[in-house]
Amino acid sequence: MATEKKKFQTPEEYLSSLPNSSQAVLRQVRKVIREAVPDAEEVISYNIPAFKTSGWVFYYSAYTNHFSLSCPPPFTVFEKFKKELSPYKLSKSTVQFPYDKPFPGKLIADLAKFRAKEMKQSKK
């Protein structure tokens, strides 16, 4: 019998469903993005937490060995921070941060600020 995947209604519900170690890291991610982009609204989209302002800032999610930040186009943020992101696994729309590496709080804040600014400018 297949089990149905839980549909999360709130970011808190998503975070509470995670193992304690992943939950602690994602709560840090959440705090860093909230501080970097205080006017961003936190929502559930595609069944994971996300921040949006004038557009999507980032989705964030937990996996077994890493957490990810992802975003829809434009992907300029990953191009702009290519050098800083070089130690991490990067695709066109997602960066993976391993749990066994130091938490990149400043980098996440810089990415979020850049992305929020880009979204605001694209709406003008």
Each residue of 83-97: pLDDT tens digit?
A: 999 999 999 999 999
Q: CATH number of the domain at 41, please.
A: 3.90.1150.200
Q: Is residue 33 part of a domain?
A: yes
Cα dihedral 40, 41, 42, 45 in deg (nearest 10): -110
3, part of any domain: no
Task: Answer whether 33's CB lies under 8 Å from 40's CB.
Answer: yes
Domain that includes residue 64, residue range: 11-123
5: in domain: no
> How high is the pLDDT of residue 123?
72
How many independent structural domains does the chain possess?
1
Report, as an integer, the average pLDDT of 34-49: 97
Q: What average pLDDT score do residues 58-63 get? A: 97
Give the number of C-alpha atoms closer than 13 A to the C-alpha of residue 114, restricted to the C-beta side. 15
Q: Is residue 67 part of a domain?
A: yes
Give the DSSP letter of residue 111. Answer: H
Asked if the model's pLDDT at residue 4 lies above 70, the reply is no
Instruction: Give the pLDDT confidence score for residue 122 in this predicted structure.
Output: 82
- Please check whether residue 1 lies inside any domain of the structure: no
Q: What is the pTM of this model?
A: 0.92
The reply to whether 30 falls in a domain is yes
Percentage of the chain modeled with pLDDT above 70: 96
Which tokens go with 112? 């979020």
Comparing C-alpha atoms, which of 19, 106, 113, 6 is closest to residue 67? 19
